[in-house]
A and B are shown apart, each in its own frame.
Chain A
């Protein structure tokens, strides 16, 4: 199977067809991740982070906060924890195992801000941290804000123009 593909590649004169053939062959022979296993790991780690969040909320509720305040404190606690674990180099290890389970929760966002801040600190407060802190999270912030604006607009049109 592989040798047939290779034969075509080495004898192909048209460079574009060769590129296509080679990419196909490489895709076949490159080892792949186990999708199901990765999914389960992500589910486990993501779930544990969410469980931790619930524990935080319950603690703050027990301390007398209302639901909204407890949720805010929970976010802050998770962010703090993630930043500390990022600084200690533990969060990337967790992500190596948990993948998207570590990236999707708010802890992943915090990591994506803290990691460049640490790395670029040595290039100065302005050009280092200032310019580079959002290199990874920048797109999330930009398109996050943009999509909330867009949804707000749609809501406004529906609420005040169509519903009336």
Chain B
């Protein structure tokens, strides 16, 4: 028997033979996200932007800690049941993750994929579970508006103007538990991970770090295009193709690029960054961004739609901009990366 080979499909994809289940999801967001259009779907909305901590970094760790607690409670699992925790965030050396999950005593794979991290975490989690290396894996990411501003831009109270294409980092965290076995509850609908398409680093030469949607759109385009090719499917295979944080500008570019390659996905395309805020009323310009944007939207709104079977097949494509303040200062462009996860609801 040669199962291993048959799981690889096309150039960059995996089709799971025994698709892993997503058995629980948990989300926590800040006040602004709670006031947005998806407010009703999140498990917890935190009014205090410091979450009772003294610093922004610790506040972000607290977001993660609470997201883990929520998802563990919802799944009814004990921490010994979870084999690995796969997580990452935007702060240098992943300090939000390491300090946030420390107390749970679960083996950790810390990963960095900028804002695409949730796609990367779910992908690796699914591989571990389906490959028989773990029975339950927790995938988690977070971001915090203030810690991201401090790390990548300016101190919070510095007086500057944001361009209209700029995005707003989501304060939030989302976590899911990926399992070899079906959920124990009697729910008829189960969420499975059918396959993944892993993205490459894609650089179309955008140097404006404030226009991250444009920097990441080519990465999303290449990954989604490859997913169609590898699985020999058309956009209408999916009910929704949901990118992470392209925002209004990036979403239009992605649509244009796909159309030019003969894939009209305008019906299916959706972006977590566009959905999570009401851009006009909440003054968020192009939309939400950050690891927490796609993670919190996925582990609330998207899973809910799948459970209700409003959507049956979703391609979840978190997008990341691979820049650092140093890469920007030494004159590098802003490359993007996007990881696609095929999530489906089955009865």
State yes or no: do A and B come from one complex.
Answer: yes
Chain A interfacial positions (CB closer than 8 Å to B): 2-3, 6-7, 9-10, 15-16, 18-20, 22-23, 25-26, 29-33, 86-87, 89, 91-92, 94-96, 99, 102-103, 108, 111-112, 114-116, 118-120, 122, 136
Chain A residue nearest in CB terms to B164: A31
Q: In whole angstroms, how far apart are the Cα atoms of A23 and B214 in the complex?
A: 9
Which residue of A7, A102, A120 is within 8 Å of B260 (Cβ)? A7
Closest 10 CB pairs of A and B: A19-B205, A95-B159, A119-B155, A115-B158, A115-B155, A115-B157, A22-B204, A26-B214, A6-B256, A6-B260
Please give the distance in Å from A3's CB to the nearest CB on chain B: 7
**Size of B's binding interface in residues, CB under 8 A:** 32
Residues of B within 8 A of A86 (CB): 157, 159
CB < 8 Å neighbour of A33 from B163, B205, B211, B261: B163
Q: Are B205 and A96 in contact (CB under 8 A)?
A: no
Cβ contact within 8 Å between B252 and A94: no
Q: Is A31 within 8 A of B165, CB to CB?
A: yes
Find residues 219-262 in chain B having any chain A CB closer than 8 Å to their own CB. Answer: 249, 252-253, 256-257, 259-261
**A-B CB contact pairs (8 Å), 27 listed:** A3-B259, A6-B259, A9-B204, A9-B257, A9-B260, A19-B333, A20-B205, A22-B204, A22-B206, A26-B214, A30-B165, A33-B164, A92-B156, A92-B157, A92-B158, A95-B160, A103-B159, A103-B160, A111-B157, A111-B158, A112-B159, A115-B155, A115-B157, A115-B158, A116-B155, A118-B156, A122-B55
Q: Is B100 an interface residue (CB 8 A)?
A: no
How many residue pairs between the two chains, A and B, have CB atoms under 8 Å in the bound complex? 102
Chain B residues whose CB sits within 8 angstroms of the CB of A23 once the complex forms: 204-207
Binary flags per residue of B124-163, CB closer than 8 Å to A gives 1, else 0: 0000000000000000000000000010001111111111
Contacts of B333 in A (CB 8 A): 19
Interface secondary structure of B, over-half rule: loop
User: Which of A7, A10, A18, A91 gathers the greatest number of chain B CB atoms within 10 Å?
Assistant: A10
Inter-chain contact A10/B164, CB cutoff 8 Å:
no
A136 near B154: Cβ-Cβ < 8 Å = yes
Cβ of B54 under 8 Å from chain A: yes
Would A2 and B157 count as touching, CB distance under 8 A?
no
Q: Within 8 Å of chain A (Cβ to Cβ): is B218?
A: yes
Bound-complex Cα distance A71 to B259 (A): 63
Q: Considering only CB atoms, which chain A residue lies closest to B218 in the complex?
A: A22
- If A2-B256, A26-B253, A31-B164 touch, does A89 touch B204 (CB 8 Å cutoff)? no
Min distance, Cβ B104 to any Cβ of chain A, angstroms: 25
Measuring CB to CB, which residues of chain B are less than 8 angstroms from any residue of chain A?
54-55, 150, 154-165, 203-207, 211, 214, 218, 249, 252-253, 256-257, 259-261, 333
Which residues on the B side are within 8 Å of A3 (C-beta)?
Answer: 256, 259-260
- Are A95 and B256 in contact (CB-based, < 8 A)? no
Across the interface, name the chain A residue whose C-beta is closest to B207. Answer: A23
Give the distance to chain A from B332, nearest Cβ to Cβ, in Å.
12
CB nearest to B217 among chain A residues = A26
Distance in angstroms from B72 CB to nearest chain A CB is 30
- Contact A96 to B161, CB < 8 A, known contacts A23-B205, A116-B155, A119-B155: yes
Please report the C-alpha to C-alpha distance between residue A95 and residue B157 in the assembled complex, in whole angstroms.
10
B204 shortest CB reach to chain A, Å: 4
**Complex: how many Å from CA A3 to CA B255?**
11
- What CA separation (Å) do A99 and B160 show in the bound complex? 7
Say yes or no: B161 contacts A26, CB within 8 Å: no
How far, in whole Å, are A136 and B158 apart by their CA atoms in the complex?
A: 9
Residues of A within 8 A of B205 (CB): 16, 18-20, 22-23
Report the nearest A residue to B159, measured CB to CB.
A95
Known A22-B204, A31-B164, A33-B163; contact A119-B157, beta-carbon cutoff 8 A: yes
- Smallest CB separation, B53 vs chain A (Å): 10
Select from chain A the residue with minimum beta-carbon distance to B160.
A95
Closest Cβ of chain B to A94, distance in Å, is 7
**Could you say which of B156, B159, B204 contacts A19, with CB atoms under 8 Å apart?**
B204
